[in-house]
Amino acid sequence: MDDIIIVGAGIGGLTLGLVLHSRGIACRIFESAAEIRPIGVGINLLPHATKELAALGLEPALAQVAIATADAAFFNRFGQLIYREPLGRAAGYEHPQFSIHRGDLQMILLDAFRARAGHDRLITHHHCIGVEQDEAGVNVHFSDGPGGARSSTVRGRVAIACDGINSAIRKQFFPDGGEPRYSGVNMWRGVTRWKPMLSGASMVRAGWLSHGKMVIYPIREVSGADGLQLINWVAEIETATYRKRDWNRTGSIEDFIGAFADWHFDWLDVPSFIRAADSVLEFPMVDQDPLPRWSFGRVTLLGDAAHPMVPRGSNGAGQAILDARALASALFETGDPVAALAAYEKQRLEATTRVVLTNRTNPPDAILREVFQRTNDRPFKAIDDIISRDELVALSEGYKRIAGYSQEALYSQQALRK
Ligand SMILES: Cc1cc2nc3c(=O)[nH]c(=O)nc-3n(C[C@H](O)[C@H](O)[C@H](O)COP(=O)(O)OP(=O)(O)OC[C@H]3O[C@@H](n4cnc5c(N)ncnc54)[C@H](O)[C@@H]3O)c2cc1C
């Protein structure tokens, strides 16, 4: 009855469960899926997020399965290097940047939550269909899976919607919110077992959305397989039509490989690399307009349920982790749950709104757009003729400040907490 009810055992819900447990606050997590399986492909955790996971004692487990990303490299579609900069610890951060399979991350969070809070604290096969509240608590209603016939109600102190981009609770509070907004860019994603490229821990962005852009980074060492890595890639192309997002929709290589047919670089033969993929998934790049509020009395939204964003800043999972930390702190510090949820919204809504909007216009790949436009999509003789190093650094650092992971932002937060 006094439990915090968390709806959804994704990255945000599980992190919230772990932080609440570490603060001695009882919670239960209810997940729609009958069984939590390691679904998805690559995800990045930037230093502001790994800092929070390290505080939960999870860095060693993450380091075992993830790649500590060491540098970002930007190329045009002719394979010419535009800009390279160190990342994570290689850039002097106290915490690493991890590139990781989403499934590995989710399983580490899940195992830690079950081991620490207890197996009975995570209840699967509970699909949230709505929530009601009164002065003393919340009643959260569930069915046994989407469209399920059997229903049940759980009573708690507070309800937190961590149920992702299609959040049922978000729809309850914003019934006219509509479907996720298509950005005009379609994505094909996959993983390929391949030998390490560049530094072996590089995050590559190449090309531009109008003609085809690739994001490529390793997410796991493949044991006993001739030093191969599991390498995550995303092909992003401006496309008029799209199909509704489904994390499991299989894509066809022939639908997009033409855009990369002549990408034969000395550091990677892109067509061969794509054709060697284990499997290909297709989904549209979508987000939603920022909401005016998340907290309604004893109910609030977190992660993608609150602020779905286009994945151009490697930030969706990270922002959910930051939300979890902020919300748990507010609940810990404030006796009144309604005041705590309002304080959490105050701390996080404006900050994430800036990230959602900047991801649309000026995420890190704005570097690629600038060079694409200034060169008229032609090879250059020397990058300094096109754009100065200072401009490139400014584009990169500007995004870090907005997303909250510039070195100054992290260090000043630390100074404040001391
Ligand atoms: C299956 C899946 C695969 C993904 N793959 C990728 C990927 O490859 N790359 C990438 O960058 N991002 C991926 N994402 C998105 C990414 O995980 C999130 O953007 C980010 O981590 C924010 O996390 P979140 O906890 O807010 O939402 P999510 O991680 O989306 O978690 C939401 C959770 O809520 C559950 N849920 C949904 N509806 C209900 C309901 N009504 N009642 C109860 N539970 C519900 C879902 O099953 C899920 O476990 C994926 C998400 C999912 C669900």
The confidence score (pLDDT) of residue 203 equals 97
**Measured between alpha carbons, how far is residue 82 from residues 11, 72, 274 in Å?**
33, 11, 23
**197, two tokens:** 């490229």
The confidence score (pLDDT) of residue 1 equals 64
pLDDT in tens, 315-354: 899 999 999 999 999 999 998 999 999 999 999 999 999 9
Distance 149 CA to ligand 1 centre (A): 23
Average pLDDT over residues 102-118: 97
Average pLDDT over residues 78-97: 95
Q: Which residue has the higher pLDDT, 247 or 197?
A: 197
Average pLDDT over residues 69-79: 97
Q: Which residue has the tokens 């992003």?
A: 236
**What average pLDDT does the structure give for the chain?**
93
Q: Which residue has the higher pLDDT, 415 or 98?
A: 98
**353, two tokens:** 């709104």
Q: Is 14 left (phi over 0), alpha (psi -120 to 50) or beta?
A: alpha
d(CA 105, CA 43): 9
Q: Which of 160, 273, 162, 169 is nearest to 215 (CA)?
A: 273
The confidence score (pLDDT) of residue 418 equals 38
The confidence score (pLDDT) of residue 409 equals 76
Q: Name the residue of 28, 31, 44 whose CB sits within 8 Å of the most ligand 1 atoms, as the mutation to test its pocket.
A: 31
pLDDT in tens, 148-187: 888 999 999 999 999 999 999 999 999 998 888 999 999 9
The confidence score (pLDDT) of residue 280 equals 94
Burial class for 254, CB neighbours closer than 10 Å (0-12, 13-18, 19+): exposed
d(CA 268, CA 261): 13
Q: Which of 104, 268, 261, 264 is nearest to 196 (CA)?
A: 268
Average pLDDT over residues 254-265: 96
Q: Which amino acid is at 370?
A: E
The confidence score (pLDDT) of residue 416 equals 46
Q: Which atom of ligand 1 is nearest to the CA of 13?
A: 25
The confidence score (pLDDT) of residue 413 equals 58
* Residue 31, φ and ψ in degrees, nearest 5: -120, 140
In 3-state terms, what secondary structure has residue 348? helix
Q: Is the CB of 7 under 6 A from ligand 1?
A: yes
- Is the confidence at residue 143, as pLDDT, over 60? yes
Average pLDDT over residues 244-264: 91
- Is the confidence at residue 243, as pLDDT, over 90? no
Distance 319 CA to ligand 1 centre (A): 13
Average pLDDT over residues 73-88: 96
pTM reported for the whole predicted model: 0.95
Q: Is the CB of 190 under 6 A from ligand 1?
A: no
Average pLDDT over residues 1-10: 92
Q: Is the CB of 168 under 6 A from ligand 1?
A: yes
What's the angle, vertex CA 386, arms to CA 381 and CA 391, rounded to 5? 140
- Is the confidence at residue 387, as pLDDT, over 80? yes
Distance 110 CA to ligand 1 centre (A): 13
Distance 175 CA to ligand 1 centre (A): 21
Residue 141, CB-side half-sphere exposure with 13 Å CA sphere: 13
Average pLDDT over residues 352-378: 93
- Is the confidence at residue 417, as pLDDT, over 60? no
**Sign of the dihedral defined by the CA atoms of residues 287, 252, 227, 225, in that order:** positive
